[in-house]
């Protein structure tokens, strides 16, 4: 900032500069005019700024020292090659619609993915999410050992689980669904024969050694159960991903086109 020794520090020089270009609203203009009327230094500053602006506007144009016309060689070098031309087209006015299209598709794709990831209770699609915990439990747990679950607290919140039932005595039982408290599923070490009342609602998930024979006794049942509930991408996820990818590719091409040209 210039140092103006003869202007008072409480006099706003920017206000004077704004007055010089008539860039003040009414109250500020009144203040500035009062400053100019009352303070000779401010009046001189205003005069000087106006003179400088006028002299700047009247500066003679610098003379050109070079002819900037393009030669045939320049033109040949600058002419877009096939791929550059193709990409550069994304900046042409004819393809201006690709910008909102890219933004829209990317936004819809993202929104769709978010929607698909929401649990059903939060307004999400839920079809895939509802099956995910069960599937996860199924695949990690394998054959589940029922442990007098009916007597465990929280039995009202039990949900059926598709794994084959193993009786506490280690014998293979029917592959009927076993009630399992999903919220309190904790893996238990050991042989899994502890009484569930000792740890309410807890079910031993890993297959104990004693039940290995039972697991192998009906392998076909276990495999079919697992593959039957394996989660796959829902149509919404596939559609959203496709839209997101298309949107991003379009946006990327437009960005690239900007750099090419």
Partner 1 sequence: MEDRRPSAAVVDPVQRRDLILIERARGGDLGAFNDLVELYQDHLFALVARMVPDRDQASDAVQEAFFSAYRNLAGFRGGSVKSWLNRICVNAAMDTQRARKRRPVQPYPEFEDDSWQPPTGPEADPERLVLTAERTHVLNAALARITDDQRDAIVLFDIQGFDYAEIAAMTGVSLGTVKSRIHRGRLALRGLLEDRMELFRG
| Residue 73 interacting with partner 1 (CB under 8 A) | no
| Residue 2 interacting with partner 1 (CB under 8 A) | yes
| Residue 53 interacting with partner 1 (CB under 8 A) | yes
| Residue 82 interacting with partner 1 (CB under 8 A) | no
| Residue 13 interacting with partner 1 (CB under 8 A) | yes
Binding mask 124-163 for partner 1 (x = CB under 8 A): ----------------------------------------
Enclosing H/E stretch for 178: strand 178-180
Nearest one of 83, 102, 82, 87 to 258, comparing CA atoms: 87
| Residue 24 interacting with partner 1 (CB under 8 A) | no
Joined together, the tokens standing for residue 77 give 């070098």
Contact between 41 and 4 (Cβ < 8 Å): yes
Among 30, 34, 40, 52, binds partner 1 (CB under 8 A): 52
Q: How far apart are CA 108 and CA 242, in angstroms?
A: 10
| Residue 93 interacting with partner 1 (CB under 8 A) | yes
The whole-angstrom distance between residue 88's C-alpha and the CA centroid of its chain comes to 28
Among 80, 200, 228, 252, binds partner 1 (CB under 8 A): 80
Residue with Cβ nearer partner 1 (1 or 198): 1
Least spacing, CB of residue 49 vs partner 1, in Å: 5
Nearest one of 158, 250, 159, 146 to 208, comparing CA atoms: 146
Q: How far apart are CA 144 and CA 204, in angstroms?
A: 7
Contact between 145 and 203 (Cβ < 8 Å): yes
Among 10, 25, 27, 75, binds partner 1 (CB under 8 A): 75
Residue with Cβ nearer partner 1 (47 or 224): 47
Residue with Cβ nearer partner 1 (22 or 169): 22
Strands 178-180 and 159-161: antiparallel
Residue with Cβ nearer partner 1 (57 or 198): 57
Q: How far apart are CA 36 and CA 21, in angstroms?
A: 14
Among 38, 74, 148, 195, binds partner 1 (CB under 8 A): 74
Contacts of 81 (CB under 8 A, 6+ apart): none
Least spacing, CB of residue 247 vs partner 1, in Å: 22
Q: How far apart are CA 250 and CA 261, in angstroms?
A: 17
Site for partner 1, rule CB under 8 A? 1-4, 13-14, 17-18, 20-21, 23, 45, 47-49, 51-53, 55-57, 59-70, 72, 74-75, 78, 80, 88-89, 91-93, 96, 260-261
């Amino acid at each position: 900032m210039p140092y103006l020794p003869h202007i008072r520090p409480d006099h706003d020089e920017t206000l004077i500069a704004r007055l010089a270009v008539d860039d003040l609203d009414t109250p500020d203009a009144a203040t500035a005019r009062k400053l100019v009327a009352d303070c000779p230094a401010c009046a001189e500053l205003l005069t000087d700024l106006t003179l400088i602006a006028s002299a700047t506007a009247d500066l003679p144009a610098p003379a050109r020292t070079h002819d900037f016309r393009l030669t045939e060689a320049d033109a040949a070098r600058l002419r877009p090659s096939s791929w550059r031309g193709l990409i550069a087209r994304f900046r042409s006015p004819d393809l201006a619609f690709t910008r909102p299209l890219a933004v829209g598709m990317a936004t819809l794709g993202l929104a769709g993915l978010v929607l698909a990831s929401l649990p059903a209770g939060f307004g999400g699609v839920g079809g895939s999410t509802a099956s995910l915990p069960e599937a996860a439990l199924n695949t990690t747990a394998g054959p589940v050992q029922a442990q007098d679950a009916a007597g465990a607290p929280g039995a009202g919140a039990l949900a059926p689980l598709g794994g084959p039932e193993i009786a506490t005595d280690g014998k293979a039982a029917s592959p009927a669904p076993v009630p399992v408290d999903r919220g309190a599923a904790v893996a238990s070490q050991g042989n899994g024969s502890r009484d569930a009342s000792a740890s309410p609602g807890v079910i031993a998930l890993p297959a104990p050694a004693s039940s290995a024979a039972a697991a192998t006794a009906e392998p076909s049942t276990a495999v079919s159960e697992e593959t039957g509930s394996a989660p796959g991408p829902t149509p919404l996820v596939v559609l959203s991903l496709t839209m997101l990818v298309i949107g991003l590719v379009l946006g990327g091409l437009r960005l690239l086109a900007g750099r090419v040209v």
